[in-house]
Amino acid sequence: MKTFNKKYGSWALVTGASSGIGKEYATHIASQGLNIVLVARNEKKLRSIEKELISIYQVNVEVIVADLTIEADIETLFKKTNDLEIGLLVNNAGREDSNHFIKIPVKQHLGTIDLNIKTPLVLTHHFGVKMIERKKGGIINMSSIVAFQGVPYIANYAGTKAFNLIFSEGIASEFKKYNIDVLAVTPGFTKTNLAKVYDFTGTPFKPLEPGFVAKKALKYLGRKRLCIPGFINAFLYWSGKFLFTRHMNTTSFGMVFKKVLKNTL
């Protein structure tokens, strides 16, 4: 990781940096001496992380308060980063709507598609062009273990995470010749705000620590194209691929989500 600066350039941009896995990405990247652009909606949280990163790691930090489902905010983000050499892009911001598909308003579903699909695509295109010109860069796309099959009660979310994975795999091959590393990350349950809706009592699930996920992903960047943090998640991936049918995987994931969403459904 010490070679990040040399390999990718001096600035990284992390979306969804105000909490959870994104905050951990920002911290671990800053600990390697890279300057960071922190992006999210909650300015108070971003300012406190900015303060922390500057005082501990003596890096430069830019805070950009943006709702990434709003086109004008993305345009502002592009303007504010115009003079920065963003060499490492972490497409981390994401949201999940958990319930029966039909009970979630369609507008909410579309907002999730905007944040989870449209935003990483638009950011990858914008910063990808500049990385290609410089012939170096790194891009991390946050997917999920739910990306490998359809999942009841989070059907739209799982679909967006499948996009993140497939999109990431495609551009990883396209961008290789430009010396740009692309990685998809597929964690399972992780202790963040996003997973607060889940009730794990009476289940064997032990959510991952967000710091573990971010650290593992950064270790994989440039070495692999897919990172599956956590032994259980790796087991689910391999067994789902070679032992069970897709229909069986969807059924078993559905049973798990029905259980952990017992307070919501």
Ligand X SMILES: NC(=O)c1ccc[n+]([C@@H]2O[C@H](COP(=O)([O-])OP(=O)(O)OC[C@H]3O[C@@H](n4cnc5c(N)ncnc54)[C@H](OP(=O)(O)O)[C@@H]3O)[C@@H](O)[C@H]2O)c1
The residues that are catalytic are: 157
Least distance between ligand X and beta carbon 2 (Å): 25
* Rounded Cα distance, 253 and 258, in Å: 9
* Rounded Cα distance, 66 and 89, in Å: 16
* Rounded Cα distance, 76 and 117, in Å: 19
Choice between 18 and 168, CB closer to ligand X: 18
**Tokens standing for 47?**
């300012």
Whether residue 137 contacts residue 88, with contact meaning beta carbons closer than 8 Å, is answered with yes
Choice between 9 and 38, CB closer to ligand X: 38
Least distance between ligand X and beta carbon 75 (Å): 14
Pairing type for strands 61-65 and 35-40 reads: parallel
* Rounded Cα distance, 136 and 36, in Å: 17
**Tokens standing for 116?**
């989870």
Least distance between ligand X and beta carbon 112 (Å): 9
Q: Which residues pair with 179 in a beta bridge?
A: none
* Rounded Cα distance, 188 and 168, in Å: 18
With tokens 């905010």, the residue in question is: 73
Q: Enumerate binding residues for ligand X (CB under 6 A).
A: 16-22, 40-42, 45, 66-69, 92-95, 115, 142, 144, 187, 189-190, 192-195, 210
* Rounded Cα distance, 181 and 173, in Å: 9
Least distance between ligand X and beta carbon 222 (Å): 20
Choice between 67 and 169, CB closer to ligand X: 67
Choice between 88 and 142, CB closer to ligand X: 142
Choice between 114 and 136, CB closer to ligand X: 114
Least distance between ligand X and beta carbon 206 (Å): 12
CA dihedral 41, 62, 73, 125 (to 10 degrees): -120
Whether residue 257 contacts residue 198, with contact meaning beta carbons closer than 8 Å, is answered with no
